[in-house]
Structure 1
Amino acid sequence: MLKNYLLNQRNNKLLPIRRFTLLCFLLMAFSAFSQKSPKVSTEVDTTSIKIGEQVRFTLTVEADTTAQVIFPEGQTFSPLETVEAFATDTTRQNDRMTLQKIYALTQFDSGSYKIPAQRIDINGNGFLTDSTTIINVANVAVDTLAQKMYDIKPLMEVEKSKAKLWLWILGILLGLLLIGAPVYWFFFRKKPLTEEEKVALLPPYDRALLELKKLENSRYIIQDEYKQYYSELTDIVRSYLEEDVHVSALESTTDELINKLELLKDAGELQIEEDTLLQFKRILQTADLVKFAKSKPESSVAEQDRKAIEEIVIKTHEALPEPTEEELMEQEEFKEELERKKQKKKIVYASLALFGLLVIGASTATAYYGFTYVKDTLLGHPTKELLEGEWVASSYGYPPINLETPHVLKRQETKLSPEMKANIKDLQMFSYSNTEALFTVGTSSTTLTQEVEPEFNKSIESFIENLEKQGAKNIITKQEEFTTLTGVKGIKVFGSGKFPVPQSKELVDGKYAILLFGGKGFQQQVILNWLDGDTYAQKIVDRILGSVEVKTEL
């Protein structure tokens, strides 16, 4: 018992110490928790404004200095409209920081509007603000006696801006320049003549004398190349005779050529002496011996033969009768015909080159993009133009539906029947339709008279019945859950069928999709209809569906 008494006394002495230690531990834990737990608060500068005035909504976040805080961006305050989001103001104290972001909000319709809860991302965790603040928007008093009231003006069709037209013109001109410059440079430009071309354009007589002079200055004799020397010598004189005397000399043997010249002499068409013909025959025979029998004459003999050939050319030219006027005319017409043939040849070559460039360009584009894409780019395709055009991101109706479309959606006039007015307070519809592309996109926002959940099944049945009334057949329907990028869940009804073509009795294979969202007192729909097998239309639909955002409360 004494032992127990001593133990109890000891425990009683240690009890205050244990309680103090436990209290310190709890205080430290609470302090550590308070340092790590962020705080989010909101504030508005006023709850009553007039139409068009602004409310300053302040979001304040207290967190550790190491925290990563992401504030909401865009039109997240609907039905209020975000006019401006000011820069974040940051203050630091020890290991804590206070972030403050101010939003300027407004509304252009009178009524009471609840500021929806805003999501702030802190270190990957979402924190929601309260949604109890209500903003009252009052009408602005207008003196209708002093100022007349006017009807709302209808929508105006605005012509597409031609600001980029000059860019297209510049691009076309650059393309023509890139193609035309090489064609002109290689085919139509007057190139400087080479030495060989200048010689070829000389008359046969002048060209023969010039070539004989070049042969005189050659090194054939010095290098004992007599075969090449006599080959060029006889080719020069034979070419001259063929062109100027009009006798087939290049393919004739020595005896045949001499016989042809003698016949011309006897007929009086070539007034040449007999000695000249004999001398010419001797030189041709010497050349035959050198070329075929490997004979090697003296260098002085070779030089004398060249001079003799030069004399023969001169005498032959002098022996030719003067050309008549008809012959001169024929020669002129012949030259013109040659020039026309050269011009035609240039045009053909240029056309072939241009065609080749087009084929190469088309083949390269086809290999890279595919035949269908190249064909649709050159010939045009309605949905391709929609896909690659300038898209519009906007908000439609109330409750708002935000989405991105190839063209702005136009408001559709709707009249509610007495039966519909019993359940529907307001119906706002917007749509865009391209009959050439057989593509349609539309939205509808419905406000109910009572705060009840919308009946999606009835809406789907009504949509299918409306398709059948328009002439659609073989409609296949599928259904699945749809979730927007911000996590709003809805229903997606989609399928295929045969749909009528406007102003025609023809039915084509098409597809459709309808998104349904809603909550107590309202319903929202996005409707799409496009041609089956149209890859461009499918990309348009995917892009629109990926951009849809809706509000889940009024």
Structure 2
Amino acid sequence: MVKFLRVILFCLLFNSVIIIAQEMTVIASTDTSSYTVGDYITYSIEIRHDKNFAVYIPSVKDSIKVLDFIRALPVEKKSVGENVVEYHRFIFSKYDSGKVTIPSVQIAYTKYKSSNKLFISTNPVSIVVHTLPVNTQEDIKDVKEPLKLPPNWLLIAIIILLSIGLIIGGYYLYKRFKNKKEGTLEVVNEIKIPPHEIALNQLHQLEEKKLWQQGFIKQYHSEITEIIRRYFEDRFNFRALEMTSAEILAVLSYMEESKPIVDIANRFFSNADLVKFAKFQPMPQVNEEMMAQAFQIVNNTIPKNVEVEVTQNV
């Protein structure tokens, strides 16, 4: 009886693992397993998930300390049936020789209309970094003495004359402006418009264009997402225009001021990504909903010390 129950429990656990794997899979890899000191190491994370999932990629630069981070490559996405495949690539290097194991990277994700974050980890990747080969057959040569060049007196004379000319010219200008009567200087104070005012104004202008009503759906989604991305960049000081939707959501989830809008932003970017990558043709209510979400994102993140009238789309 006990053995029978163990078999049933094992089957249930095994089926659960299969279901999770079908919903979300991650694979980490490098372009090769053998490098020379100083070579570029391309580290890739392939994520396959349901198209209704939102994926949050952590800061790989902070997660992988065994290598030296160089840069992140643009994210690639493609649709495969009901799934989306994401390719995240990062360039690292290593300046010490030896065997290196790149640790697992924990990736967070949420299912459709759920705020509960689930986590899945990549597989560790092992590589070997070799030193540069040294030819022991060559003779060791003495260090050559520095080459001594005769002084270039013409160049020295030109530098001295130019220095004297600059000193005389500076003194002349100083005396000339000093002897002039002091005039009235007009000080123009630069008026910096707050990011939320710029974003709200741009959203109103976009709304008045009526792009999606005229069939320009892709242009409408491109402009509204750029307005929100630029607003995040100016309001929260991170490079939102150069980041993917998942990277933006990951940054927002870590900032206290932006936590109230994470769910709204997730729905906003999910619709935008479907139009961009999955060739999704949204219904009119989806376009209206995205405009309402954009206004809500801006209005809910206006600094508390700024007295403004909250703007709503009509």
Indicate the TM-score class for this superposition, using the shorter chain for normalisation: 0.3 to 0.5
Higher relative contact order, chain-length normalized (CA < 8 Å, sep 6+): 2
Larger Rg: 1 or 2? 1
TM-score, normalisation: structure 1: 0.21
TM-score, normalisation: structure 2: 0.35
